[in-house]
């Protein structure tokens, strides 16, 4: 592999463009929709603390490892892993790692698009004034009616999937760069405005306390696993999305700095979402453990009753759709890049096939909220099963092997050269983390869940 090699899919125009795209992939429904509801289901503070520890000790080192592998391989994750396996003279079974990532990406996109469809429908509902002066009961009815209708869910899911494919066809590094440039700041401004509103409710302090005062008696083995899964999910790591973005990264960029910046941005976004939502939840007598509908129940009440709420509501849900869009494109890019490289397909064809597959799979999630809601495997609906399988199992397992691959298989000289850390000590810290700390943490959390520890 020569240093002059570039990705055939293009390159980011600058370090900043990569940061925007990677942070754009990280900040999405995972922060604004998923983080609040799983925090609510898992008792608050203690769960948040475990999640933050996972981001720091597992997430950031693995994000650096993924970026580094991608930049060295310069191809889709499947071919990057294959090329690096060859370079290191490693065992061929490592090839499965790239494959598992592509499959995880598909599975996640299939339900991600359904939820992004909810956000799109809510942007529309906000626009036509459905939430104006509505109380908690009315908002609940709007939600229940909505998810009871497969046709409506299919419509919005399809719309979102088409939008994702339209962006991916153009190539993630064209057009997208500019879009993220204004989307990220706009999203943060809206979140801060919402926090401002939450402060005016009587339950602001209760919300803060729920999020930040840990009660470890509420922490079960499964919540620890969910917290770790969330660290992977929210940072977009463990399946090759950051790896494929790393492949488009120019040589001279500091991977460590960018990883901290991306993880920091992502964490702030999640915490802001939590700070905004829980006071509203408590102020309106909603259950924090209300599940995936939490933000769709809580936020419309706020928009329906605050001054300028119509405008904020529309802006917020539109922003949420765009936030989801910059994430969803990274879920499918590894598959598309591979089809282009390996099958010699053009980008259009590769997008249509992968989009179609994820779209069809999405029906499983859609029906799990209505006509198949009684259909359960291992006590979980299809949506719950897909979510558990991907976020809590496939991503951590993928991350485990990415860490082992980067720490033990790749030659030290190569990772050192690729990471270009400012000094030898910080490189050693990273190496220690990916060799020992991150894999061991994942491993022990798994043992804990199956009851061995
Ligand atoms: N991180 C995104 C979010 O928080 C979702 C996402 C995008 C993702 N790409 C990913 C999750 C890759 C896991 C792996 O909404």
Q: Which ligand 1 atom minimizes the distance to the CA of 390?
A: 13
Query: Residues with beta carbon inside 6 Å of ligand 1?
Result: 25-26, 28-31, 108, 233-234, 236, 239, 241, 327, 330-331, 395
| Per-residue pLDDT, 2 | 42
Ligand 1 center to residue 391 CA distance, Å? 9
Reported as a single tens digit per residue, the pLDDT across 271-328 is 999 999 999 999 999 999 999 999 999 999 999 988 889 999 999 999 999 999 999 9
Residue nearest to atom 14 of ligand 1 (CA): 236
Ligand 1 center to residue 330 CA distance, Å? 7
Q: In the structure, what pLDDT confidence band is assigned to residue 3 with cuts at 50, 70 and 90?
A: very low
Ligand 1 center to residue 238 CA distance, Å? 10
Residue nearest to atom 4 of ligand 1 (CA): 30
| Per-residue pLDDT, 176 | 65
| Per-residue pLDDT, 268 | 97
Ligand 1 center to residue 259 CA distance, Å? 15
Q: In the structure, what pLDDT confidence band is assigned to residue 19 with cuts at 50, 70 and 90?
A: confident
What's the whole-number mean pLDDT along residues 420-448? 94
Return the best residue to mutate from 24, 28, 267, 329 for the ligand 1 pocket (most ligand atoms within 8 A of CB). Answer: 28
| Per-residue pLDDT, 75 | 87
Q: What is the 3-state secondary structure (H, E, C) of the chain?
A: CCCCCCCCCCCCCCHHHHHHHHHHHHCCHHHHHHHHHHHHHCCCHHHHHHHHHHHHHHHHHHHHHHHHHHHHHCCCHHHHHHHHHHHHCCCHHHHHHHHHHHHHHHHHHHHHHHHHHHHHHHHHHHHCCCCCCCCHHHHHHHHHHHHCCHHHHHHHHHHHHHHHHHHHHHCCCCCHHHHHHHHHHHHHHHHHHHHHHHHHCCCHHHHHHHHHCCCHHHCCHHHHHHHHHHHHHHHCCCCCHHHHHHHCCCCCCCHHHHHHHHHHHHHHHHHHHHHHHHHHHHHCCCCCCCHHHHHHHHHHHHHHHCCCHHHHHHHHHHHHHHHHHHHHHHHHHHHHHHHHHHCCCCHHHHHHHHHHHHHHHHHHHHHHCCCCCCCCECCECHHHHHHHHHHHHHHHHHHHHHHHHHHHHCCHHHHHHHHCCCCHHHHHHHHHHHHHHHHHHHHHHHHHHCCCC
Q: In the structure, what pLDDT confidence band is assigned to residue 252 with cuts at 50, 70 and 90?
A: confident
pLDDT over 90 for what percent of the chain? 75
Residue nearest to atom 8 of ligand 1 (CA): 236
Ligand 1 center to residue 26 CA distance, Å? 6
pLDDT higher than threshold 80 for residue 178: no
What's the whole-number mean pLDDT along residues 172-180? 67
Reported as a single tens digit per residue, the pLDDT across 65-92 is 999 999 999 888 889 999 999 999 989 8
| Per-residue pLDDT, 1 | 42
Residue nearest to atom 12 of ligand 1 (CA): 236
Ligand 1 center to residue 88 CA distance, Å? 29
Ligand 1 center to residue 63 CA distance, Å? 12
Ligand 1 center to residue 89 CA distance, Å? 31
Reported as a single tens digit per residue, the pLDDT across 374-383 is 999 999 999 9
Q: Which ligand 1 atom minimizes the distance to the CA of 266?
A: 4
Q: Which ligand 1 atom minimizes the distance to the CA of 331?
A: 9
Which of 32-46, 145-159, 301-315 is the least confident region? 301-315
Q: Which ligand 1 atom minimizes the distance to the CA of 25?
A: 7
pLDDT over 70 for what percent of the chain? 97
Return the best residue to mutate from 160, 236, 270, 337 for the ligand 1 pocket (most ligand atoms within 8 A of CB). Answer: 236
What's the whole-number mean pLDDT along residues 151-176? 88
pLDDT higher than threshold 50 for residue 196: yes
pLDDT higher than threshold 80 for residue 175: no
pLDDT, greater one: 33 or 167: 33
pLDDT higher than threshold 50 for residue 132: yes
pTM of the model: 0.95
Ligand 1 center to residue 423 CA distance, Å? 31
Q: What is the mean pLDDT of the chain?
A: 92
Reported as a single tens digit per residue, the pLDDT across 111-120 is 999 999 999 9
Q: Which ligand 1 atom minimizes the distance to the CA of 242?
A: 12
């Amino acid at each position: 592999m020569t240093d002059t090699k570039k990705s055939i899919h293009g390159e980011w125009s600058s370090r900043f463009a990569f940061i925007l795209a990677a942070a754009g992939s990280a900040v999405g429904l995972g922060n604004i929709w998923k983080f609040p509801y799983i925090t609510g289901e898992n008792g608050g503070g203690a769960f948040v603390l475990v999640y933050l520890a996972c981001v720091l000790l597992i997430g950031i080192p693995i994000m650096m490892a993924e970026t580094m592998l991608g930049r060295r391989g310069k191809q889709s994750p499947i071919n990057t892993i294959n090329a690096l396996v060859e370079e290191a003279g490693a065992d061929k079974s490592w090839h499965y790692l790239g494959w598992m990532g592509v499959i995880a990406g598909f599975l996640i996109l299939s339900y991600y698009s359904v939820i992004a469809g909810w956000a799109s429908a809510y942007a529309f509902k906000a626009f036509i004034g459905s939430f104006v002066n509505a109380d908690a009961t009315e908002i609940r009815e709007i939600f229940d009616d909505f998810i009871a209708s497969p046709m409506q869910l299919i419509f919005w899911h399809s719309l979102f999937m088409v939008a994702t494919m339209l962006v991916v066809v153009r190539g993630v590094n064209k057009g997208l760069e500019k879009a993220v440039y204004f989307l990220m700041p706009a999203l943060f401004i809206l979140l801060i405005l919402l926090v401002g509103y939450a402060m005016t409710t009587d339950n602001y302090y209760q919300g803060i306390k729920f999020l930040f005062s840990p009660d470890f008696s509420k922490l079960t083995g499964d919540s620890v696993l969910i917290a770790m899964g969330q660290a992977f999910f929210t940072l977009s790591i463990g399946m090759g999305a950051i790896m494929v973005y790393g492949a488009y990264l120019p040589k001279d960029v500091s991977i460590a700095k960018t990883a901290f910046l991306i993880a920091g941005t992502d964490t702030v976004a999640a915490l802001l979402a939590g700070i905004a939502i829980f006071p509203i939840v408590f102020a309106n007598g909603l259950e924090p453990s209300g599940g995936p509908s939490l933000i769709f129940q809580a936020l419309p009440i706020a928009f329906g009753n605050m001054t300028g709420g119509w405008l904020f509501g529309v802006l917020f849900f539109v922003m949420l759709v765009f936030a989801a869009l910059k994430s969803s494109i990274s879920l499918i890019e590894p598959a598309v890049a591979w089809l282009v490289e390996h099958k010699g397909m053009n980008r259009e064809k590769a997008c249509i096939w992968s989009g179609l597959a994820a779209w069809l799979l999405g029906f499983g999630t859609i029906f799990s909220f209505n006509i198949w809601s009684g259909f359960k495997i291992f006590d979980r609906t299809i949506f719950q099963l897909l979510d558990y399988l991907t976020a809590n199992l496939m991503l951590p397992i993928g991350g485990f092997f990415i860490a082992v691959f980067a720490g033990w298989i790749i030659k030290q000289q190569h990772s050192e050269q690729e990471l270009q850390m400012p000094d030898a000590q910080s490189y050693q810290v990273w190496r220690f983390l990916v060799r020992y700390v991150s894999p061991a943490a994942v491993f022990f959390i798994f043992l804990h869940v199956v009851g061995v520890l």
